[in-house]
Structure 1
Amino acid sequence: MSDLPTLLAECIAVVDETMDMLLSRTKDTEMRLFEAMRYSYTTGGKRLRPFLVTHSSALFSVDKNCAARVAAAVEFMHTYSLIHDDLPAMDNADTRRGKPSCHRQFDEATAILAGDALQALAFEVLSAPETHVDPAVRIELVRKLSQAVGVNGMCGGQMIDLLSERIDELNISKITRLQYLKTSKMFTFSSVAGSIMGKGSYRSYMALHDFAQEFGLAFQITDDLLDVEADQKKLCNAIGQDAVDGKATFVSVLGVERTRAHVSLLVDNAISALEVFDELANPLREAARYFTNCTN
């Protein structure tokens, strides 16, 4: 069994170095924009999506530098989404990972531009010849990431989240769709990226797709569980506030124990999807278990 913390640390080091290399420094007037972009991706984070890129790529012996570039592009895109989620028009969050959110550290206009620029940089990196020698592969990476973040992906999920206060009944089916679009779609791209770069078989592609779809949903539900289980009083307050706002969550609909059981089922399904890879996919299996363990 591999040492997951070591693998995660190695991934963070490689991806952070790659992001710093890809974000060209400038001393011109737009230096403030560069600072806001870099501030936002250096405030910490698990780098889980880059980890999925890195270790799905390893299954197909993809060049490590190429995999690192795609992993960096994914983290640029993820960071853009966090910057915009924190804005007053969205979640209105003053902090991110224990530090002032981008619009608080700089200003709202700079934060919007930093998010826009990071999104553009992600596609610039994916489309560059250095990322893959085959232009068809680069186009497919751009296409799949576009789908993962667009109206049928992360942005669509965020729209449902914003509208959830106005929806009369947000049942389990609708909550699942929200989380699938908002979280699982990016997990899915990150996991199938290795198959795309390595030109894997349809079977291997779908194995990674199914793994990520289940893992992404389990990850988001676990995050919700951790939010409410940190303090039992917070659980009551959260459910009460959701009722006032007209929102529903897995926890408020199913309760804590049934939600835990649902997470366990999702993780089992995710791990089962990787059978085609035998022990080569152990880092992915371990990540699925580790990041859905509510005691972490």
Structure 2
Amino acid sequence: MNTQVFEQNLQNLQPEQHQIFEHEIAKANFDLNSYLSERKNQVEAALAQSIEVVYPEKIYEAMNYSLLAGGKRLRPILCLAGCELAGGTVEMAMPTACAVEMIHTMSLIHDDLPAMDNDDYRRGRPTNHKVYGEDIAILAGDGLLAYAFGFIISKTQDVSAPRLLPVVAKLSYAVAATGLVGGQVLDLECEGKQAIDVETLNFIHTHKTGALLEASVLCGAMLAGADDEVLQRLSRYARNIGLAFQIIDDVLDITATSEELGKTSGKDEQVQKATYPSLWGIEESKHQARRLVDAANIELIPFKEKSLPLMAIAEYITNRTH
């Protein structure tokens, strides 16, 4: 592919001309399905070896029950893609990618608890607390969260400590009250309230959903030694796709079936949760998600062909059905 033409075409992009991205991705013969399948298989293989079942068996089994339950593995794949874009390798990023998925799994286990979103199904099968009880489910989430940080430190190779420690700090910041936990708290506080504005909703989801997505991309790039300019571009990319991801999640909660989602559909409306479709309607929500993805991909223009996996993943976010 002619990289000069690629860059010139994208530099001329207008906000509504997202077809240019799709055209350039297709012209480069980039096969997203094959890419996602290959990376997912690599992540699944690494996760399968990440936690050994030892005494007391029940807690390790509960951790693995949710960790190995499948799913899109989007966050670890974003971590690997961010590392490769910045010149790194899959091997150096895989422990961090696994840690990201451990943390994400923790958030799902806890999110499904009766005191939170109270869901019986996740990824097409009974949620952790339905199998192991609420007490073990809470501890399984705690175990995964703590295990994740040790896994990065003990398993990462060919990355110096001065480069590795900021990765651990970035990830911890994303999951703490400064990120995922803080967003979840505000989300719970806003349930049943009618007067939630877009700014509040954006705050919830840039923290509850977006912070870990952003950390996934940035941690991968940081492992490869990306400079501040690269990290700032990737940060803007990730924040935009994080919000787009949540908007489409809200839409799918209304339009998709429980079988398609692998979890109970229609839950947001049942608990009177503020969502983007409740503020904008379905079609405008899709439009706003599309604009966010366009803005995300604009940030990747300087990276040319190296950006194709991240661009294609952004396109996938708005086109997915589950």
TM, length-normalised to structure 2: 0.84
Alpha-carbon distance, 1:128 to partner: 2.3
1:292 partner SS: helix
Q: Does 1:196 align with 2:196?
A: no
- Sequence identity percentage: 37
Q: Does 1:282 align with 2:308?
A: yes
Measure the CA separation in 2 of the matches of 1:160 and 1:282.
Answer: 35
Q: Does 1:11 align with 2:36?
A: no
Alpha-carbon distance, 1:129 to partner: 6.1
Alpha-carbon distance, 1:248 to partner: 2.1
Instruction: Give the structure 2 partner of residue 21 of structure 1.
Output: 49
Maintained 8 Å contact 1:157/1:179: yes
In structure 1, the gaps of 5 or more residues are 232-236
- Pick closer, same or farther for the CA change 1:294–1:63 going to 2, 3 Å: closer
Measure the CA separation in 2 of the matches of 1:216 and 1:80.
Answer: 18
1:108 pairs with one of 109, 134, 141: 134
Instruction: Give the structure 1 partner of residue 24 of structure 2.
Output: none
Q: Does 1:73 align with 2:99?
A: yes
Maintained 8 Å contact 1:128/1:138: no
Letter in 2 for 1:25: V
Alpha-carbon distance, 1:130 to partner: 3.0
In structure 2, the gaps of 5 or more residues are 1-28, 258-265
Maintained 8 Å contact 1:160/1:178: yes
1:193 partner SS: helix
Task: List aligned pairs for 1:171-250, cutoff 5 A.
Answer: 171-230=197-256, 241=270, 245=272, 247-250=273-276
Measure the CA separation in 2 of the matches of 1:239 and 1:10.
Answer: 33
Alpha-carbon distance, 1:20 to partner: 2.2
Aligned residues: 286
2:241 partner SS: helix
Measure the CA separation in 1 of the matches of 2:285 and 2:60.
Answer: 41
Alpha-carbon displacement from aligned partner over 1:33-85 (angstroms, at most 9, x marks no partner): 11111110121210000110111111123232221111101000000110011
Maintained 8 Å contact 1:70/1:131: no
Maintained 8 Å contact 1:210/1:273: yes
Alpha-carbon distance, 1:230 to partner: 3.0
Measure the CA separation in 2 of the matches of 1:241 and 1:101.
Answer: 19
Alpha-carbon distance, 1:288 to partner: 0.7
- Pick closer, same or farther for the CA change 1:191–1:169 going to 2, 3 Å: same
2:284 pairs with one of 236, 258, 273: 258
Maintained 8 Å contact 1:204/1:276: no
Q: Does 1:150 align with 2:176?
A: yes
Q: CA RMSD in A?
A: 1.8
1:62 partner SS: coil
- Pick closer, same or farther for the CA change 1:132–1:153 going to 2, 3 Å: farther
Alpha-carbon distance, 1:265 to partner: 0.7
2:319 partner SS: coil
Measure the CA separation in 2 of the matches of 1:239 and 1:102.
Answer: 20
2:195 partner SS: coil
Instruction: Give the structure 1 partner of residue 75 of structure 2.
Output: 49
Alpha-carbon displacement from aligned partner over 1:162-190 (angstroms, at most 9, x marks no partner): 10126562111111111110111111001
